[in-house]
Each structure stands twice: as structure tokens, then as C-alpha cells.
Amino acid sequence: MKIYKADFITSGVNPEHYPEPMLPEVALAGRSNVGKSSFINKLVQRKALARTSSKPGKTQTLNFFNINDEVMFVDVPGYGYAKVSKTEREAWGKMMEKYFTQREILKGVVQLVDIRHDPSADDVTMYDFLKYYDLPVIVVATKLDKIKKSQRDKHIAAIKRKLQFDGQDTLIPFSSETGEGVDAAWEAIYRLL
Ligand code: GTP
Ligand code: MG
């Protein structure tokens, strides 16, 4: 995959702030700190296009990135970050619901989960929500470099079980440290477009 363009377009919270629909969109959803921004950077071979941080809650708005004039990646704020007020959580829910239900150009969602742990209740809620709205999901199991090779199958099976994984969806083990899973992720994204 040759990346000749990876441009930040704009940030927005409400539909009036979204960019004009111009490219098929793929959104990145997942718990805070799971590695959404790192995933984008790894796929587009840029170190800091999407801002990453070891502190959860770095991404606060929907951030739109034009990749190769072919696909718009939409980095979204993570969920499940404990130090968030009820008001903030509700605002986040409204922002996500509007985007996922109203954005016609949205082709599918990459939902990231941490391969080391069973999906959280929030992960399951997000997956159910996406399925309810008939959005194709690519589940990317991040931080693959942090588990032993011999443990991979066990962790993948646990994730599928907990999510009640839909056989139509794709699951990709991934590491933004080693780049493992990059090609499989691009292939799955292309199939959505
Ligand atoms: P929010 O914007 O807060 O929702 O977080 P995010 O999901 O965008 O996570 P981000 O990409 O900022 O990554 C969080 C932390 O995890 C950073 O310290 C990353 O370096 C680290 N990280 C992300 N992916 C991987 C991975 O595949 N392997 C390892 N070892 N670390 C990772
Ligand atoms: Mg982020």
C-alpha cells in the first residue's frame, strides 16, 4: 500500500462541522488508550498524523483524515475512560450516535480491542450498537506484540466469544509496534469501500 497522501482535514463534534462528504469513510472506535490513533499512524506510515498519548482521552473530537483521496479515516474519542463525568459521557454518546446513524458515506467501522483482555462491557455495547445499525465491523485486536505467540489463538477465541462475533465480520490481530496485521487491515478496509 503506497501512501502518497495522508492529510488532516478537520475536527468536528456535530454534523454541521463534518466535512462535505467527499470520500467513503471508515471510523475507528474503541476504548480509550486501546491504540486507535496509533493504528491510523501505522497504516498511513506517519509517526504523528493522529495524536497519540499514554494518557487516555487524547482524542476529543471526530478527526477526519483524507488518505490517498481514496478513503477518509475518522478517528473518534475513546470510551470507557473512568475519569469522565456523566455529562461528558452523555455528550460523547450523542456525538457518536449522530455520526454512526446519520453519516451516509460511512462504510464501516474498525473497532479496536486489546488482545490481552476480554472485551469490556463497553466494548460489547459498542459492537452490539454497530451490529444493530447494520454497520460492517472490522475488529482489530491491538497490542499483539504484548502477548506470546503461543497465547494468540486463545485470546482471539476469547474475544470472539465475548463479542458474540458475527461470522460476516473480520478479526485482525495487530501491532502498531511491529506492523503485524497492517496488510490484512488494508485488505479488510478495501473490502468495505
Ligand atoms: P484515545 O485517543 O485516548 O482514545 O487513545 P487511542 O485509542 O487513540 O490510543 P493511542 O493510539 O494514543 O495509544 C495509547 C498508548 O498505547 C500509546 O502509548 C501507544 O504507544 C500504545 N500502543 C498503541 N498500540 C500499541 C501496540 O500495538 N503495541 C504496543 N506495545 N503499544 C501500543
Ligand atoms: Mg486517539
Q: Which helix (H) or strand (E) holds 101?
A: helix 86-102
Comparing CA positions, the residue from 59, 36, 47, 54 lying closest to residue 6 is 47
- Ligand 1 atom closest to 112 (CA): 7
Burial of 9 (0-12, 13-18, 19+ CB in 10 A): middle
The CATH architecture to which 6-192 belongs is 3-Layer(aba) Sandwich (3.40)
Distance from Cα 166 to the centre of ligand 2, integer Å: 26
Report in angstroms the alpha-carbon separations of 30 from 19, 77, 159: 22, 8, 14
Predicted local confidence at residue 90, as pLDDT:
87
Q: pLDDT tens, 150-163? A: 999 999 999 999 99
> What's the length of the chain?
193
CA of 75 to the centre of ligand 2 (A): 7
pTM of whole model > 0.85? yes
Q: How far apart are CA 89 and CA 91, in angstroms?
A: 5
Lookup: cell for 172: 485482525
Specify the ligand 1 atom closest to the Cα of 32. 4
Per DSSP bridges, beta strands 6-12 and 137-142 are unpaired
Q: Which residues of the chain have pLDDT under 50?
A: none
Residue nearest to atom 24 of ligand 1 (CA): 35
Domain locations along the chain: 6-192
Distance 74 CA to ligand 1 centre (A): 16
* DSSP SS3 for 178: coil
The per-residue pLDDT for 82 is 64
- Residues with CB under 6 Å of ligand 1 are 30, 32-38, 52-54, 56-59, 77-78, 142-143, 145-146, 175-177
What's the start-to-end Cα distance of the chain, in Å? 15
Counting residues of the chain whose pLDDT is more than 70, the rounded percentage is: 97
Q: What is the reported pLDDT for 57?
A: 66
Going from the Cα of 18 to the center of ligand 1, the distance in angstroms, rounded, reads: 25
